[in-house]
Amino acid sequence: MSEIYSTTVLFEHPLNEKMRTWLRLEFLLQQLYNCSELVDISSALPFFRTVADLLDVLERGDVRTEMLKELDRQQQKMLQWDGVPGVDSERVRTLRNNLKQCAAVLMSAPRLGQALREDRLIASVRQRLSIPGGCCSFDLPGLHIWLHLPQTHRNGQINTWLKTLDPLNAALTLTLDLVRHTEPFKNQISLNGFFQDNAEDADLLRMRIPLVYQLYPQVSGHKTRYAIRFLSLDSENGVIPNRLPFELACC
């Protein structure tokens, strides 16, 4: 069987604004932490643009407070599992300790993103990103000279910036990992490209769709009910099967 027939594509869709923000933060943090060495303007601009996007998201709400509430909620859920027959109590206690540690570090950390906002180089680049072509060397001579400093110097500065995001990244990674594992994937069938069900106060929909169909989901819904409409990548010639098998987890 060829790879395209055996491969599925994972889609995730938030069912509330809190999860929408967290998925966006995860998306941006993953790009920053996985960035390669910044060697020229073509590799540096995506990094600084991602930093600017991250700061914009952090400025739209109290991410720290919401994250601390979720860490506490997850701790309470772990308490309910502790001592239940058949449950790995040691694993549960380890998760509780990890949640407590993440909460303590996040609580004591400075304002999220503050160090990045106050950095002069980041601030100067951020101001020019909205201007078409506004990051030329004559617009940002400071960035131009920074890119000519030794690579070790640039790497050290990037690591310093990322270290200020470690408390948020650790808490977010642990929280989303727990959310994603609250429900297993189940086999489902979509009829004529449509599927709906109850959400039961869920936060996140996860869908695995066979790549061979070249379909993607369009989701509408909230924490109590949702509907999924499957659309073809080729809107003119694509075919949506009458019965589409896919996997779904409502977390």
Residues of the chain with pLDDT > 90: what percent?
Answer: 84
Phi-psi region of 215 (alpha: psi -120 to 50; beta: other; left: phi over 0): beta
Strands (E), the chain: 8-14, 186-191, 194-198, 204-210, 215-221, 225-232, 243-250
Show the domains of the chain with their CATH numbers.
Answer: 35-181 (1.10.3900.10), 186-250 (2.60.440.10)
Looking at per-residue pLDDT, the higher value among 47 and 89 belongs to 47
Of 67, 62, 72, 75, nearest in space to 26 by CA: 67
Confidence of residue 2 (pLDDT cuts 50, 70, 90): very low
Tens of pLDDT, residue by residue over 6-41, are 699 999 999 999 999 999 999 999 999 998 789 999
pLDDT at 180 over 70: yes
pLDDT at 88 over 90: no
Of 77, 3, 76, 67, nearest in space to 29 by CA: 67
Looking at per-residue pLDDT, the higher value among 106 and 61 belongs to 106
Looking at per-residue pLDDT, the higher value among 22 and 2 belongs to 22
Residues of the chain with pLDDT > 70: what percent?
Answer: 97
